[in-house]
Amino acid sequence: MGKRMCAIAAAVLCAAALTSCGGRKLRLDGNNVVAGSTSSAASVQPTTVQPATVQTMTVAVSEQTTSATNEYGAPAREEIDVKMPSDYKLGTKKAVNVATILQKPELPTGCEITALTELLNFYGFAADKVEMADIFMANDRIGYYTMNDAYIGDPHKEDGFGCNAPVIVRAANDYFSYLGSDWYAVDLTGCPIEEVYYQIEQGRPVVVWTTINQVEIRKEFEFRLGCGEDFYFNPMQHCVVVYGFDYDEKVVHVADPLVGCRTYDIARFERIYESMDKQAVVLCGNEESAGVDYTTDEQKKMWLAQNRTFEDDEKVWLRKNLERPQPPEPETEPPATTADTTTTTEAKT
């Protein structure tokens, strides 16, 4: 994307410039976001990955090829089966080569979108973490929606919260739509950790939800969202790209937006993966279209005008036509009438 995309976004959206996830917290006072305290916990020191352990990248694609194209000239989208076959046997180790993008200083709590940008760059797309955060990731700074709908808080600030896998899937798919690409994101949430490792064996690194420094801590109640749901959040929530595993060394290889490429203890990583609701995302597409931008500047302007909208004085940044969940009606019991009382008394006698 680069400078051209920044100019387009500024011209079409007139969006204000927005400025990792460290124990991150904010609280809401009415409709206003207020800085909150930062949780602290003992950290586990990671070890650095040696480049010699990393293997060459391969892009997994569908075996079937086609000459058909979409309206922008990209190969027609082909669904790739990412599910691990029931009789598949994992090897003992595998790694591909993923470069880390550090989320700071621009996005101190923007690990989710930074991890997605790492994945996009891996496949050759010229994505920028800040542009991805400001243009393609739904953002709610007033605490109305859930983390499945939007990033809650401001990723440019130290007191932002975060988002769940569906938000990152939509951000990726919107980015691909903006480029006219056949590529797409797949939400693997709920899959066993072995299926994450299977993706890596197929050449697909995976965005995974975990915790900062592998701290084992649970979610905490924060507040009632505007849509009526209670909001629980793990104050150490973090997002990384898993690009390798090694059962012999008992480690996983991750591109961590806070600290760079690291190895973490595989057993601990797997426990945290479970506690963070097994959230994971992969990207798929044709090898020939990896990293290719198929749309013109004018088409990009049209896409932005048609697909982005602000709500609530530009504090909620969403895909147009997203259904706004309504808060439940207050539960009140109607007062008893004289007739009701009489009827009840007569029935008892």
Query: Residue 259 domain-assigned?
Result: yes
CA 107, CA 132: separation in Å to the nearest integer? 11
CATH of the domain at 48: 3.90.70.10
Is residue 50 included in any domain, yes or no? yes
Residue 72 contacts residue 299 (beta carbons within 8 Å):
yes
Are 24 and 162 a contacting pair, CB within 8 Å? yes
Q: What Å distances lie between residue 153 and 245, 285, 344, CA to CA?
A: 33, 32, 52
Q: Is residue 342 included in any domain, yes or no?
A: no
* Non-local CB neighbours of 42 within 8 Å, separated by 6+ positions: 215
Q: Is residue 286 part of a domain?
A: yes
- DSSP, residue by residue, 245-302: EETTTTEEEEEETTTEEEEEEHHHHHHHHHHTTT-EEEEE--GGGTT-----HHHHHH
Q: What gap in Å lies between CA 22 and CA 71, rounded to an integer?
A: 43
Domain of 198 in residue numbering reads as: 2-322
Question: pLDDT tens string for the chain (349 positions)?
Answer: 443 444 444 443 433 333 344 455 443 333 333 333 333 333 444 444 443 334 434 444 444 444 689 999 999 998 999 999 999 999 999 999 999 999 999 999 999 999 999 999 999 999 999 999 999 999 999 999 999 999 999 999 999 999 999 999 999 999 999 999 999 999 999 999 999 999 999 999 999 999 999 999 999 999 999 999 999 999 999 999 999 999 999 999 999 999 999 999 999 999 999 999 999 999 999 999 999 999 999 999 999 988 887 776 667 877 766 677 778 776 666 555 544 444 333 333 3
Based on the structure, what is the number of domains in the chain? 1
User: Residue with structure tokens 């953002």?
Assistant: 139
For residue 83, is it within any domain? yes
Per-residue three-class SS string for 289-340:
HCCCCCCCHHHHHHHHHHHEEEECCCCEEEECCCCCCCCCCCCCCCCCCHHH
Within-domain flag for 275: yes
Q: Which two tokens stand for residue 101?
A: 């993008």
Peptide bond connecting 46 to the previous residue in cis, omega within 30 degrees of 0: no
In-domain check, residue 338: no
pTM comes to 0.78
The answer as to whether 331 is a domain residue is no
Beta-bridged to residue 27, according to DSSP, are 34
